[in-house]
Amino acid sequence: MYDSIIIGAGIAGSTTARKLAEEKNKKVLVIERRSHIGGNCYDKPDDYGILIHEYGPHIFHTEDEGVRAFLSRFTDWYDFGHEVVAKVGDQLIPVPFNLNTLHMVYDEEKAARLEKKLIEAYGEGSRVPIMKLRENADPDVVHDMLCGFEKVFPAEQFFYQHAEGNSHAHMKTTVVGPSQTLIIHDGEIVFGIWQDLYFCEFDGPRNRTFYVKIIEG
């Protein structure tokens, strides 16, 4: 007779089972259909002895020392850093966009002009999503940034492999984001003077479903 039955020996299942057994002295049965534990974080050596990710790359990060200490009982760590870039012609462009991107995409005069406008509008070091740029009153900022957006993620690239042919739409969506948080006061959405709400369709026309969640403040 078992006190608990855990379905799945992935990270959540394995951790839950371990905690119940060690800290609560429970008798736990773990059921897993795969031949290994660890779920999609499972690693194994290939034919050449190189440790590979069986189910694709997985990167771990935490600010909780207790979590790291717990996992360190069962795994070694390999320090890793990554930088996301998009290849545009012969250039590798940083993603998400930053001020350096302007100088890589545009000529020096235009890049300097845009950089000055962006800093004046949003401040040095600000993180501004594409949707926020569309709210800006200066049409140059909107036009030039969206043109740069299309240049970084063109509809056609020889290296795209996604069979549906909409890789550019997926990449644009990762930058824009899938949701927006809005303030509602007296039944009305609160906008700034130059603000509005836009729906960006990068892979259409399609029928879409909108979900609205009201959180009382």
126-135 long-range CB contacts below 8 Å, 24 or more apart? 127/96, 129/175, 129/176, 129/177, 130/175, 130/176, 130/200, 131/176, 131/177, 131/180, 131/198, 131/200, 134/196, 134/198, 135/192, 135/194, 135/195, 135/196
Provide CB contacts within 8 A for 10, sequence distance 6+: 37, 38, 39, 40, 41
Model confidence at 136: pLDDT above 70: no
pLDDT (average), residues 57-64: 84
Q: What are phi and psi of 190, to 5 degrees?
A: -90, 115
pLDDT per residue as tens digits for the range 1-55:
899 999 999 999 999 999 999 999 999 999 999 999 989 989 899 999 998 888 8
Model confidence at 99: pLDDT above 60: yes
Distances, alpha carbon 171 to alpha carbons 42, 155, 185, in Å: 27, 10, 34
Band (pLDDT 50/70/90 cuts) for residue 134 is: low
Q: What gap in Å lies between CA 146 and CA 153, rounded to an integer? A: 11
pLDDT (average), residues 68-74: 92
Band (pLDDT 50/70/90 cuts) for residue 113 is: confident
Q: Amino acid identity, residue 179?
A: S
Model confidence at 70: pLDDT above 90: yes
Band (pLDDT 50/70/90 cuts) for residue 131 is: low
- The H helix count followed by the E strand count for the chain is 7, 8
Model confidence at 137: pLDDT above 60: no
CA 47 to chain centre: 32
Model confidence at 139: pLDDT above 70: no
Q: What gap in Å lies between CA 174 and CA 167, rounded to an integer? A: 11
Model confidence at 180: pLDDT above 90: no
Provide CB contacts within 8 A for 86, sequence distance 6+: 92, 93, 95, 152, 153, 171
What does pTM read for this prediction? 0.43
Place of tokens 């909107």: 142
76 vs 89: which has the higher pLDDT: 76
**What percent helix, strand, coil does the chain show, rounded to 5?**
35, 10, 55
- What is the share, in percent, of the chain residues with pLDDT greater than 70? 83
Model confidence at 109: pLDDT above 60: yes
Q: What gap in Å lies between CA 141 and CA 113, rounded to an integer? A: 10
pLDDT given at position 152? 77
